[in-house]
Structure 1
Amino acid sequence: MIEQFRIDRLRTGSATVGFLFNPLSGRIRKRRDAIRREMGGIHDAVCRDATSGPEIRASVDAFVEADTDLLVIVGGDGTVQAVLNHLFTIQPPAKWPILSVIPGGTTNMTALDLGIHGRPEDNLRKLSKCLLNRNLPPLLQRHVLCIEQAGTAKVYGMFFGIGLIARAVIFSQGRIKQLGVTGEIYSAIIMLGYLAGALIGRRQGPWAPVQLAVIEQNIELHRGTYTFLFASTLDRLLFGMRPYWGQEQEPLHVTFVRQQRKRPLRSLLQLLSGHGSALKEQNGYFSSNTSVLELMIDDDYIVDGESYRAASQGGPLRISAAGPISFLVANSANANL
């Protein structure tokens, strides 16, 4: 829970505002001047440019040291993930600044899940109006994934993926990104290409499946060869998709698909269109909500577009829900804090 004094400062117009700005984020590169103009229009706000992990950590430290009340992250999912990762490392969420996100990355699933869409400069204009008029929106809460394994530092984020999903994201970070296509369209092109390869039977290289065991409450529930597995605390993913259908009242949504499965094309369309509840576990499809998930795996995985490596010699990779944390969303300016 955010400390009440920060909310009170926002109400009275005395809050300090900081912008963590990643000018290299996918949708920002061609709009930097317009975005900087909008940020400069917020009175006494401090803006810090940060394009790398060390720069983001240093900027977050500076904002925390200055007791910033509202920290606005202007960037994509990777920038948001880096900020969350460092904040969890240095202090408990109750001590954090209030967070807000201005989507400007290649993918912006966290912002879109919060209902923030449109051009970065337009969203900044809405935020500026809210702060000026003190007509402040509600705080929306989301849990955050905590991924940990013995011998490695904890990783925090909103979306975890392995198998085909991880391989597609890692590939997208290479040569294809140089084409200059960004946003959900860019992500869709890459993912659809990988899915098409899997559907026609490719199983080597970038299309290689992943070997893993799924453990819950110290019980191995699943083991085998999987096309992909993902876990998220977000209610919606790219294009508004909600490809999970568990009924449990837990914050962590998990879906995975076995390599050997029936009716792959028809089932894939059902999964992507939000009709996954019709898919059967005996046919290779599974989804549930949980608070903790453990995986025995030796492979690459991604968290909000950033890649990591899991090794079973370190024991299970543990994924749990941390938080919830609060986000200020200017698009919801029809209610007060």
Structure 2
Amino acid sequence: MAERAAQLAGAQGIEVIRATDSAEIAAAMDLLLDRRQQKIFILSGDGTVQAVVDRLVSLPADVPQPQLLVLGGGRSNVTAGDLGGRGDVLSKLETALQRWRDGAALGVEVRHVLRIEQPPAPARHGFFLAAGLVDYAIRTCHSDREKGSGTLRAGSAATLWSLLKLVLPAMLGQYKPPLDDLRIEVPGRKVLAKPARLLIVTTLQKRQGLFNPYAEEGLGALRFTAVGARGMGFWARLPLIVTGRFTRDMDVRHGYLSGRCDALRVLRLSSYTLDGEEFDIDPARPVTIRAGSRLTFLTL
């Protein structure tokens, strides 16, 4: 796919920059920013988008921000999917290039980034943070892929296979993943009766498809869900959580806290993934997650 995308761009006389690691991504962004590039098309997975975003929000206020078209070239493509860049990405790239050549306008959407603060460490930025059970599941999938190259390790069914191996024993009570006991503090909201074992936070809108695991409650740029419920009660309600159908009894007293806010505070957090990238941190220091800078994205 990458080669075909490069051919499509090259046919329009557009420079193609390939970057395969963090150093190359940083160098590519520095080059484009030095040129004051106004539009950047990105074909990549979520981790690369996170690295690009982290670089952009570090720019001085007087440096113009480029507009980004994000097309999913990775495995999950959560960010691209929220911005209409998942599916037949080569066709979408061809359409975007055609519009650019013809001088036709692309759609524009603005998103806040997540800003994750744990002083004195530098803040990190991205779009989807997972902690607790979801973080553990993502790391399990990563670990399984590193162990081999077969269909169930690296193929299209690899993620589903890894999750089934994790979820089924957990549902049957045969395995308890080692998870942080998190305290989640959201201004104006009650605290969970039990420590949270699952936390997801995003600034993405999740307006497409059934996956929308957030309650429509409160105001703010962040969408979050924290769950302290355990056992079969949690697993039985998981389809409701995933689709955002929180019932009246899914409240803080029963271990559920979800909705919108502008910032939240997390205590006793030792690890999380941000757009699929793994981070291990000091659980003795609180973490604040808030809405950060606003970036402009191009859409089809």
TM over 0.5: same fold?
yes
Return the alpha-carbon distance in structure 1 between the equivalents of residues 166 and 241 of structure 2: 16
Task: Please give the alpha-carbon distance, in whole angstroms, between the structure 2 residues aligned to 1:105 and 1:115.
Answer: 15
Residue 140 of structure 1 is aligned with which of 109, 133, 146?
109
* Cα deviations by residue, 1:311-332 (Å, 9 ceiling, x for unpaired): 133x310100013321001x2x
Q: Once superposed, which parts of structure 1, at least 4 consecutive aligned residues long, lie more than 6 Å away?
A: none
Instruction: State the secondary structure of the residue aligned to 2:7.
Output: helix
- C-alpha contact 1:166 1:301 (8 A) present in aligned 2: yes
Q: Taking every aligned residue pair, what percent have the same amino acid on both sides?
A: 23
CA distance in 2, matches of 1:191, 1:326: 34
Show the counterpart of 2:292: 322
1:163 aligned to 116, 129, 132, which one? 132
Partners of 2:196 and 2:289 in 1: CA distance:
18
Q: Which amino acid aligns with 2:169?
A: G
Residues 173-192 of structure 1 mapped to structure 2, 5 A cutoff:
173-176=142-145, 178=149, 179-182=153-156, 186-192=158-164
**Alignment match, 2:219:** 249
User: Residue 46 of structure 2 corresponds to which residue in structure 1?
Assistant: 77
Q: Distance in 2 between matches of 1:257 and 1:83?
A: 31
CA drift of 1:260 comes to 3.0
In structure 2, the residue matched to 1:266 is: 236
Structure 1 segment 273-312 matched on structure 2, within 5 A: 273-281=243-251, 282-312=253-283
Q: Which residue of 2 is the match for residue 21 of structure 1? A: none
- Listed as ranges, the gaps of 5+ residues in structure 1 are 1-30, 332-337
Does the 8 Å CA contact 1:72/1:100 hold for their aligned counterparts? yes
Indicate which of 98, 109, 118 corresponds to 1:129. Answer: 98
- Residue of structure 2 equivalent to 1:213: 183
Contact 1:199 1:264 (8 Å CA) reproduced = no
Counterpart of 2:138, as a letter, is: V
Separation of aligned partners in 2, 1:245 and 1:233: 14
Please tell me whether the aligned partners of residues 244 and 287 of structure 1 are also in contact (alpha carbons under 8 angstroms). yes
Superimposed CA distance per residue, residues 63-111 of structure 1 (whole angstroms, 9 cap, x where no aligned partner): 0001111011110111100100111123349721111111101111111
Aligned length: 294
Identify the match of residue 105 of structure 1 among 70, 74, 91: 74
Q: 1:126 to 1:142 in 2, by over 3 A?
A: same
Which string of whole-angstrom CA distances, capped at 9 and with x for unpartnered residues, describes residues 220-256 of structure 1? 8347433311111112289541111132121101101
* Amino acid across the alignment from 1:300: S
Deviation at 1:58, TM superposition (A): 1.0
Correspondent of 1:67 among 27, 31, 36 = 36
Structure 1 residues 278 and 164, CA gap change in structure 2 (3 angstroms): same
RMSD, aligned CA: 2.4
Which residue pairs with 1:200 in the alignment?
172
Q: TM-score under structure 2 normalisation?
A: 0.89
Partner secondary structure for residue 154 of structure 1: strand
Mapped partners of 2:261, 2:160: distance in 1? 28
SS at match of 1:230: strand
Q: Which residue is equivalent to 1:28?
A: none
Q: What CA distance in whole angstroms lies between the structure 2 residues aligned with 1:166 and 1:56? A: 24
Equivalent position amino acid for 1:154 in 2:
A
Give the gaps of 5 or more residues in structure 2: none
Match of 2:119 in 1: 150
CA distance, structure 1, for counterparts of residue 22 and residue 199 of structure 2: 27
Deviations 1:283-330 (A, max 9, x none): 2222121101111124210000001123133x310100013321001x
Distance in 1 (alpha carbons) for counterparts of 2:144 and 2:29: 30
Question: Which is further off, 90-99 or 320-329?
Answer: 90-99
Residues 93 and 225 (structure 1), Cα distance of their counterparts in 2 relative to 1, 3 Å cut = farther
Structure-2 separation of matches of 1:247 and 1:151: 33
How far, CA to CA, are the matches of 1:35 and 1:228 in structure 2? 38
Q: Quick one: distance in 1 between partners of 2:122 and 2:155?
A: 33
Tell me how far 1:40 sits from its aligned partner: 0.9
Determine the C-alpha separation between the residues in 1 that align with 2:104 and 2:4: 24
